[in-house]
Amino acid sequence: MNTLALSHEILMSIEKPARYIGHEINSVRKDPTKVDVRFAMCFPDVYEIGMSHLGIQIIYDMLNRRDDVFCERVYSPWLDLDAIMREKGIPLFALESQTPVKEFDFLGITIQYEMCYTNILQILDLSGIPICAKDRTESDPIVIGGGPCTYNPEPLADFFDLFYIGEGETEYYHLIDLYKKNQRDGGSRKDFLEKAAAVPGMYVPSLYDVLYHPDGTIMEMRPNHPNAPEKVRRQVVVDVTDTFYPEAPVVPYIKATQDRVVLEIQRGCIRGCRFCQAGQVYRPVRERDVEMLKSCAAAMLANTGHEEISLSSLSSSDYSSLKELTYYLIDVCREKRVNISLPSLRIDAFSLDVMSKVQDVRKGSMTFAPEAGSQRMRDVINKGLTEEDILNGAMEAFRGGWQKVKLYFMLGLPGETEEDIRGIAYLSDAIARQYYSIPKEQRNGRCAITASASFFVPKPFTPLQWAPMSDYKTYMDKAHIVNDCMKEQLNRKSIRFQWHDAKTTILEGVLARGDRRLCRVIYDAYRAGCLYDAWTEYFDYDKWMRAFDANGIDISFYTTRKRELDERFPWDFIDIGVTKQFLQREWKRSLAGETTPNCRAQCSGCGASVYGGGVCYESKD
Amino acid sequence: MKVRIKFTKTGPMQYVGHLDLLRYFQKAFRRAGVDIAYSSGYRPHQIVSFASPLGIGLTSEGEYMDAQFVTVDDSQTMIDRLNAVMAEGIRITQFLVLDEKERNAMASVAGADYRVTVRQGYYELVDFSDFCGEFLRQDAIFVTKKTKKGEKDEDIRPYIYEMRGTAEGLYLLLCAGSSHNLKPETVMEAFCAFLHMPYETFGFRIHRLDTYLQDDPDDITTLRPLGAVGHEAKTDHYETKE
Ligand code: SF4
């Protein structure tokens, strides 16, 4: 009896066959014939990456709590299996039942980054589902997209039947109920999508027509069905304590990128860094109750057996009960021999104390994300971190015994001058100087500073959504300026500088602020063999550029073009709560180098208070 | 205290590799909440080792691992607690407490036996069992072994302790362990060559029946299952918790 979709011969001929066998601890078993709705939840990247994602585990748990629904998982087959499936005509299958995705009612795809777009097409293609939504028939699953990239879903508009804009916990049950009712009533796929368009947060791209100005910008996005709202309102979970949280997440057999319990302590961020999309689209900040987190942590550790737990949030230091939670976890974890990992902590006395308890300082490293080298630039992006903060933090860390420091920067920020760029080298050197100011006998050899630079990609719904990007050569020149400047620094031997290739940045930039006209390009790029674009070794920039050329699309329209303040953006039909007026105000302040206080210091009236919860309603003294 | 655990590895679990299986057990011990011992330091880890790694794609009902425990309940309770958190395909079948002087499983492995059957769709008209005797009557059975320095011929005949036909297929008892580890696939490849038949990599289902230690290195009749040493744990005897 073979309970697996792939034969022994195939499993033995591919890398890591355990990616495809399902049956993991805590994976859900149901009889597919005994449920009303089968939902395939997909993360379009390789298993180890997809299994590390908390969002899928939340939805998986939430949907499987219903007896009438069976939610299963799907990941991208790796290239070796991809080739075999095509050659032998094996349809893509879901892990739990090992049955074809095409037999499901829904295929839900979480869209976490732009560079996975061709992987989405692979999923559809291997499933035998027509790639374009308009070609699908009654026997195909409803293809629904969710996740951060749905804050501009337009480049994918042709491939999805609908998008859900907002946090998964709120509307899926309604959607499932609606689907069941439509089935009972003998409604068609079209009927369902038209009804779904009226559910809050649902966007059915086929129910909208886009009209363009002669210059290529958008004139209007017009609903072509009465159920399709002019504006789609992002849905949020106001109470993040009394909600779904997976107490028994699935534990993979092979090592996932995040091989640990992930405890999401809050959603959103008070900081308002102007480049950060998450900081805007997850407003307002909502904290989970510390008692809930304690009990979730204990339950998840017991149910998974993971040897590590990690706190997750955009800025953990801003969580009000952080001390209580951390010291609780330290106690529990010491007893259970569980490691704690605390990313995104501001370096201060508390975090150093905690870090010294949970890691070996000699081996561990301290991470700072100044994002920009000069104070002027940090003001432009509203990164509320001063040089003094960084140097003092580093000094405290050095005195505490740390020697390794990691620094993250961005290049290509709006209005950046050569001096700003060189600032990255100056700041790295200044940190090293701090270290060497400690008397020699108290130091332990050299310090090791690693500075990494990525290139800035303007994202929808950020104050910097108006910012023009640079071209490839300019980006690489900027990186070389830093690199040359590093070589002139006193402590150059203690500093390592690394930077990303800007080709990925450019494509990411095009797709991030793209419109529906890019669907054809993505399709052609996929047909030309582009896949796993997020993996540098498989990313083929030239193939992509040929696909743009073939479609007569000049990428500079999306990258380097200057956007007017009143331009209508492809994503403007989405209402995220935060208003365009606020973003415009922030963009202007950014150009003027003015900072904006965080939500707890002073509310800036961004608009997110319409959700009626979170930080906007905390009592402020 | 030293503990030896015997387990099966079948079904989908045959595709989980050796290192992943180790991680699987480490998490399973935590889920079961058993009182396993940890190393000290910033990253404490469980002290666990397998007897003889099983290749991916092979199944087994005779796998062993050794682990250090702080306290244990009686063997049956321990088996039940562990089986309650096992994945499909892994069953704990023995839980033994070893004397401290007992050599660990990995060091004591000397042999393993297998059931080899023909996978559906392969070698349909061949009855391998008819030829075992003839195969074994050869003075030497040379196979080409890839080494770091290139290829070298090796005689595997001395390491085939037993090979015969059974109702289901073939029974093989082979030398295993650190000195000479003879894989059943190697034997089958040589057997096919002897019969002038192409060797099909996926043509056989190989199932390990048990893993053995050997009391006298010169006498293979002293082979005993790794689970024949040690003794059942009894609560009153070994419970050291206050
Ligand atoms: S309304 Fe004010 S407090 Fe609320 S998220 Fe916006 S800026 Fe922050």
Complex prediction ipTM: 0.93
More confident residue, B239 or B71: B71
Determine contact, residues A582/A605, Cβ cutoff 8 Å: yes
Buried b (16+ CB within 10 A) or exposed e, A365-379: ebebbbbbbbbebbb
Per-residue pLDDT band at A488 (split at 50, 70, 90): very high
A454: tokens are: 């990525």
Query: Are residues A388 and A355 part of one domain?
Result: no
Tell me the average pLDDT across A219-231. 97
pLDDT of residue A354: 85
pLDDT of residue B151: 86
Tell me the average pLDDT across A386-396. 90
At residue A8, does pLDDT exceed 60? yes
Query: Are residues A296 and A149 part of one domain?
Result: no
Nearest in space to A171 (alpha carbons), one of A205, A144, A207: A144
Query: Are residues A97 and A199 part of one domain?
Result: yes
Listing DSSP states for A140-203 in one string gives SPEEEEESGGGGS-GGGTTT-SEEE-B-TTTTHHHHHHHHHHHHHTT--HHHHHHHHTTSTTEE
Enter the DSSP assignment of A557: G
pLDDT of residue B234: 81
Of the residues B14, B29, B31, the best mutation for testing chain A's interface (the one with the most A CB atoms within 10 Å of its CB) is B31
pLDDT of residue B44: 84
The shortest C-alpha distance from A253 to chain B (Å) reads: 6
Chain centroid, CA A17 distance in Å = 27
Other beta carbons within 10 angstroms of residue B52's beta carbon come to 24
Give residues with Cβ within 8 angstroms of A477, minimum separation 6: none
Query: Are residues A131 and A65 part of one domain?
Result: yes
Query: Are residues A371 and A354 part of one domain?
Result: no
- Rounded to whole angstroms, the Cα distance separating A152 from A131 reads 19
Give residues with Cβ within 8 angstroms of A605, minimum separation 6: A582
Cβ contact A360–B42 (<8 Å)? yes
**A615 lies in a domain?**
yes
- Rounded to whole angstroms, the Cα distance separating A129 from A110 reads 17
Query: Are residues A591 and A488 part of one domain?
Result: no
Q: Does residue A236's CB lie within 6 angstroms of at least one atom of ligand 1?
A: no
Query: Are residues A367 and A351 part of one domain?
Result: no
A522: tokens are: 């993505």
Total number of domains constituting chain A: 3
SS3 A211: strand
Tell me the average pLDDT across A582-596. 97
All residues of chain B having their beta carbon less than 8 Å from the beta carbon of residue A12 are 56-57, 201-202
Domain with A453 in it: what CATH number?
3.30.750.200
Q: Looking at the partner chain, which of A4, A17, A25 has a beta carbon nearest the beta carbon of B56?
A: A17
Determine contact, residues B208/B58, Cβ cutoff 8 Å: yes
Domain with A597 in it: what CATH number?
3.30.750.210
Residue A299: exposure state from Cβ atoms within 10 A (0-12, 13-18, ≥19): middle
Tell me the average pLDDT across A548-576. 97
Determine contact, residues A38/A180, Cβ cutoff 8 Å: no
Tell me the average pLDDT across B55-82. 96
Give yes or no for a cis peptide into A570 (omega within 30° of 0).
no
Tell me the average pLDDT across A590-596. 96
Enter the DSSP assignment of A572: T
- Rounded to whole angstroms, the Cα distance separating A495 from A373 reads 15
Query: Are residues A144 and A19 part of one domain?
Result: yes
Determine contact, residues B17/B61, Cβ cutoff 8 Å: no
The shortest C-alpha distance from B38 to chain A (Å) reads: 8
Listed range (A179-183, B52-56, B108-112, B124-128) with the worst mean pLDDT: B124-128
Nearest in space to B214 (alpha carbons), one of B166, B242, B175: B175
Listing DSSP states for A228-284 in one string gives S-SSEEPB--S-SSSS---SS--B-SSPPSS-SEEEE-EES-SS--TT-SHHHHTPS
* Mean pLDDT computed over every residue of chain A: 94
Opening angle at CA B156, ends B150 and B160, nearest 5: 150
Query: Are residues A164 and A43 part of one domain?
Result: yes
Query: Are residues A132 and A26 part of one domain?
Result: yes
* CA distances for A363 relative to A405, A447, B42, B118, angstroms: 11, 12, 11, 52
Per-residue pLDDT band at B241 (split at 50, 70, 90): very low
More confident residue, A420 or A441: A420
To test the pocket of ligand 1, the residue of A276, A604, A618 to mutate (highest count of ligand atoms within 8 Å of its CB) is: A604
Which residues are bridge partners to A127 per DSSP? none
- Which residue among A465, A483, A500 closes a domain? A500
A403: tokens are: 């020697």
At residue B238, does pLDDT exceed 60? no
- Rounded to whole angstroms, the Cα distance separating B85 from B211 reads 24
Query: Are residues A201 and A325 part of one domain?
Result: no
At residue A343, does pLDDT exceed 60? yes
Per-residue pLDDT band at B178 (split at 50, 70, 90): confident
Nearest-atom number in ligand 1 for the CA of A284 is 5
Residue of minimum CA distance from atom 3 in ligand 1: A616
Which residues are bridge partners to B5 per DSSP? B65, B95
Residues A300, A303, A309, A312, Cα dihedral to 10°? -40
Per-residue pLDDT band at A620 (split at 50, 70, 90): low
**A175 lies in a domain?**
yes
Chain centroid, CA A583 distance in Å = 21
Residues A385, A388, A391, A397, Cα dihedral to 10°? -70
A73: tokens are: 């998982």
Tell me the average pLDDT across B104-122. 94
Residue that has been written with the tokens 């035998």 in this structure:
A128
Give residues with Cβ within 8 angstroms of B36, minimum separation 6: B29, B46, B48, B67, B68, B69, B70
More confident residue, A81 or B40: A81
Amino acid at A212: Y
Which ranges of A39-157 would DSSP assign to H, the alpha helix?
A: 47-50, 54-64, 79-88, 117-127
**A177 lies in a domain?**
yes
Residue A615: exposure state from Cβ atoms within 10 A (0-12, 13-18, ≥19): buried
pLDDT of residue B236: 55
Residues B37-67: tens digit of each pLDDT: 999 877 788 999 999 999 999 999 999 999 9
Residues A100-111: tens digit of each pLDDT: 999 999 999 999
**A509 lies in a domain?**
no
At residue B237, does pLDDT exceed 70? no
- Which residue among A458, A480, A500 closes a domain? A500
CA of A245 to the centre of ligand 1 (A): 25
Q: Does residue A42's CB lie within 6 angstroms of at least one atom of ligand 1?
A: no
At residue A445, does pLDDT exceed 90? no
Q: Measured on CA atoms in the order A84, A87, A90, A93, is the torsion positive or negative?
A: positive
- Rounded to whole angstroms, the Cα distance separating A309 from B162 reads 50
pLDDT of residue A621: 45
All residues of chain A having their beta carbon less than 8 Å from the beta carbon of residue B56 are 12, 17
Residues A37-66: tens digit of each pLDDT: 999 999 999 999 999 999 999 999 999 999
**A319 lies in a domain?**
yes
Of the residues A2, A4, A6, A8, the best mutation for testing chain B's interface (the one with the most B CB atoms within 10 Å of its CB) is A8
Listed range (A337-341, B9-13, B53-57) with the worst mean pLDDT: A337-341
* Mean pLDDT computed over every residue of chain B: 92
All residues of chain B having their beta carbon less than 8 Å from the beta carbon of residue A9 are 202
Q: Does residue A121's CB lie within 6 angstroms of at least one atom of ligand 1?
A: no
* CA distances for A490 relative to A398, A406, A486, A494, A498, angstroms: 19, 18, 9, 9, 18
Calculate what percentage of chain A has a pLDDT beyond 90: 88
All residues of chain B having their beta carbon less than 8 Å from the beta carbon of residue A253 are 16, 20, 23-24, 87
* CA distances for A247 relative to A62, A286, A300, B95, angstroms: 11, 20, 5, 30
Sequence-separated contacts (24+) of A346-350 with Cβ below 8 Å = A346/A315, A346/A317, A346/A393, A347/A393, A347/A394, A347/A396, A347/A397, A348/A317, A348/A393, A348/A396, A349/A396, A350/A322, A350/A323
Query: Are residues A65 and A111 part of one domain?
Result: yes
Cβ contact A306–B27 (<8 Å)? yes
β-bridge pairing B204-214 and B223-225: antiparallel
Of the residues B29, B30, B86, B201, the best mutation for testing chain A's interface (the one with the most A CB atoms within 10 Å of its CB) is B30
Q: Does residue A306's CB lie within 6 angstroms of at least one atom of ligand 1?
A: no
At residue A341, does pLDDT exceed 90? no
Domain with A178 in it: what CATH number?
3.40.50.280
For chains A and B, CB pairs below 8 A equal: 74
Domain containing residue A144: 8-233
**A185 lies in a domain?**
yes
**A488 lies in a domain?**
yes
All residues of chain B having their beta carbon less than 8 Å from the beta carbon of residue A402 are none
- Which residue among A465, A500, A535 closes a domain? A500
**A201 lies in a domain?**
yes
Phi-psi region for residue B161, left (φ > 0), alpha (ψ -120 to 50) or beta? alpha
Chain centroid, CA B219 distance in Å = 20
Per-residue pLDDT band at A471 (split at 50, 70, 90): very high
Amino acid at A390: I
SS3 A221: strand
Amino acid at A438: I
